[in-house]
Structure 1
Amino acid sequence: MVFGGSCSSCGVGFALLVVLFILLIIVGASYFC
């Protein structure tokens, strides 16, 4: 990922990363519970 590019693509990449992280937490919580 290039951080020096346009701000919109940077925001989309960051949003996808956050969504994946949240899904990982939800799956992990449901797995351990």
Structure 2
Amino acid sequence: MSGLHGGFTSAGIILVLFILLVIVLRGAVF
């Protein structure tokens, strides 16, 4: 259970970083 939670946390962190990257790229384009 804890392993699944850890994997979900890692995926969440990656998702947040990806969203921030997209925002930065959009800001650079526009």
Would you say same fold, with TM above 0.5?
Answer: yes
Structure 2 gaps of 5+ residues are none
Gaps of 5+ in 1: none
TM-score normalised over the length of structure 1: 0.81
Normalising by structure 2, what TM-score? 0.88
**Runs of at least 4 residues off by over 4 Å:** none
Q: When you count helix as a share of all residues, which structure comes out higher?
A: 2
Q: What is the total number of aligned residue pairs between the two structures?
A: 29
What is the percentage of aligned positions where both structures have the same residue? 28
